[in-house]
Amino acid sequence: MDNQDKNSRPAVMERVRLLTRAMGHRPLACVRTYGCQQNVADSERISGMLSCMGYDFTDRTEEADLVLFNTCAVREHAELKVFGNVGALKGLKAARPDMLIILCGCMMQQETVQQQIRSKYTHVDIVFGPSMIPELPSMMEEALITRNRVFTRRERPEIAEDLPIVRESAHKAWVTVMYGCNNFCTYCIVPYVRGRERSRASAEILKEVQELVRSGYRDITLLGQNVNSYGKDLEGEMDFSDLLAAIDRMDGDFWIRFTTSHPKDCSRKLLDTMAASRKICHQLQLPFQSGSDVILKAMNRHYTAEDYYGLIEYARRVMPDVVVTSDVIVGFPGETEKDFQRTLDLIEKVRFDNLYTFLYSKRTGTRAAAAENQIDEEVKKERFNRLLAAQHPICLAKNKEMEGRDYTVYVESVSKNNPECLSGKTSGGKTIDFPGDAALIGQFCKVTVTRAKSWSLDGRLKECQHD
Ligand code: SAH
Ligand code: SF4
Ligand code: F3S
């Protein structure tokens, strides 16, 4: 074996498998994922590699030989939760010093976090950021052999296309189309922890989608922090609209979704492509963040509230059934009552189907964190509550509009709200619960909405399309 073979990922994974086999039983891994779908998709690759290294999986940290937390840094609250949960592992490690505790993901790419883990959480064995996931086997080998702690903040620019994947669901799948972000919205930590935009080659994406469709996946979501930038970093690569159109042309009965779009890059071409397609879902998650042009400028978002209305109007013109959802931040530094009023105006005017509302959280290293005009916590909370109160009746009214109508849904699972019911997702991304046989899971069905509530919809099975 030459050096390259010895260091290849499969060779390293095989050596780790032999090392862990020495435990005398099939080792168990507990993988916990925080944050966004990007992290969920990353964890599926982590689980794929762990499985190749001989691990089975458990939800319980108490019986795990390896505990891995894939973390999020987007808000302070998320980070505090992780520190708490890592602290709680100390006793487990003291009782079983041979177990491995691994922390990765966005939060771990930050220098201050690594310093804190190094000095105060000495029971943690391996720490690394999102781009180093493909190196997990070699870091595990090093930790298992030397028993040293392995910390790295290295960023690995190349995309690894050959990682094994253990998917969470047999019906819906995530496909990352690009990594990183170049936008540097002034509140956001993501570009600092996930690095610059890197697109996967379209041939690889099309191959992955094809394989998923072949193995029975019917609901596929393309992922990226800003999918509309897809391909810009690769010479001669197609743009995101053309990628979607190419997927739409593939054989098979499936749906394709994507997240997230940035209003500055969300083109008319993309919306036209969605409208003209058969398989692209009419679901648009388009974060607006603020309704005030002054705040949007300070956020470095590169659009105005008027531009945003224009986009939504166009989307609704070409796709009257489009479901529009958004993200909004309350209490960005310098936000006045007037600015906040503009945010309320925007949500009244647009009438989103759903809104993800965030209290501004100061992220060390971002431009907004250094601003002196930070907003008082009480003011933020009061505005936040007013925002929720304004959006609540809109959600209910939007759902009420669906009452009595028929929708094609993709049946995902048994309902979390009621074990007697199934949960189906519409093309717009709305979930409808309806009584039905579990054999329908993984199929498209037609469902009539019987009752709409603010956060959920009940329905009745009308017909099953693919018996
Ligand atoms: N790339 C995606 C999502 C990024 S993070 C996009 O741009 O749409 C998801 C959401 O978290 C953001 O849309 C924003 O609303 C929120 N967010 C990001 N940083 C935040 C911060 N510092 N405080 C509060 N909310 C934040
Ligand atoms: Fe963060 Fe803005 Fe990039 Fe989204 S587009 S990840 S909000 S910097
Ligand atoms: Fe969090 Fe990283 Fe996603 S910071 S929101 S897990 S990109």
For the stretch 397-408, pLDDT in tens is 999 999 999 999
Q: What residue ranges define each of the domains in the chain, with the CATH number in brackets?
A: 3-151 (3.40.50.12160), 172-400 (3.80.30.20), 406-465 (2.40.50.140)
User: Which helix or strand (DSSP H or E) is residue 172 part of?
Assistant: strand 172-176
Tell the residue number behind the tokens 């781009």, with chain if given: 131
Q: Is the pLDDT of residue 463 over 90?
A: no
The CA 188 to ligand 3 mean position distance, Å, reads: 10
The CA 188 to ligand 1 mean position distance, Å, reads: 6
pLDDT at 3: 66
Give the pLDDT band of residue 367 (cuts 50, 70, 90). very high
The CA 245 to ligand 1 mean position distance, Å, reads: 28
Distance of CA 129 to the CA centre of its chain: 16
Q: Mean per-residue pLDDT for 130-156?
A: 96
pLDDT at 323: 98
pLDDT at 467: 45
Return phi, psi of residue 190, to 5°.
-55, -50
Q: Mean per-residue pLDDT for 334-347?
A: 98
pLDDT at 25: 85
Whether the CB of 223 sits within 6 Å of ligand 1: no
- Report pLDDT digits (tens) over 208-265: 999 999 999 999 999 999 999 999 999 999 999 999 999 999 999 999 999 999 999 9
List, chain by chain if needed, residues with CB within 6 Å of any ligand 3 atom.
35-36, 38-39, 72-74, 105-106, 189-190, 194
Whether the CB of 194 sits within 6 Å of ligand 1: no
Q: Is the pLDDT of residue 56 over 90?
A: yes
Give the C-alpha separation, 196 to 90, whole Å. Answer: 35
- Report pLDDT digits (tens) over 155-168: 998 999 989 999 99
**pTM given for the model:** 0.95
Report whether 110 contacts 82 (CB < 8 A). no
**Nearest CA-CA partner of 42 in 94, 124, 98, 107:** 107
Give the C-alpha separation, 105 to 129, whole Å. Answer: 5
Instruction: Indicate the SS3 state at residue 188.
Output: coil
pLDDT at 444: 96
Residue nearest to atom 3 of ligand 1 (CA): 225
- Report pLDDT digits (tens) over 69-107: 999 999 999 999 999 999 999 999 999 999 999 999 999
Question: Other CB atoms closer than 10 Å to residue 343's CB: what's the count?
Answer: 26
Give the pLDDT band of residue 136 (cuts 50, 70, 90). very high
pLDDT at 454: 86
Whether the CB of 113 sits within 6 Å of ligand 2: no
Give the C-alpha separation, 282 to 269, whole Å. Answer: 15
Whether the CB of 415 sits within 6 Å of ligand 1: no
The strand pair at 406-414 and 421-426 is best described as: antiparallel
> What does the mean pLDDT of the chain come to?
95
The CA 77 to ligand 3 mean position distance, Å, reads: 13
pLDDT at 23: 78
| Ligand 3 probe mutation, 37, 69, 72, most atoms within 8 A of CB | 72
Query: What are the DSSP E strand ranges found in 34-112?
Result: 56-57, 66-71, 100-105
Q: Is the pLDDT of residue 2 over 70?
A: no
Distance of CA 167 to the CA centre of its chain: 14
Share of the chain above pLDDT 90, in %: 94
Q: Which ligand is nearest to the CA of 181?
A: 2
Give the C-alpha separation, 264 to 262, whole Å. Answer: 5
Report whether 122 contacts 116 (CB < 8 A). no
- Report pLDDT digits (tens) over 193-218: 999 999 999 999 999 999 999 999 99
Q: Is the pLDDT of residue 39 over 90?
A: yes
Q: Which ligand is nearest to the CA of 358?
A: 1
Give the C-alpha separation, 444 to 231, whole Å. Answer: 32
pLDDT at 96: 93
Share of the chain above pLDDT 70, in %: 99
Atom of ligand 3 nearest to the CA of 106: 2
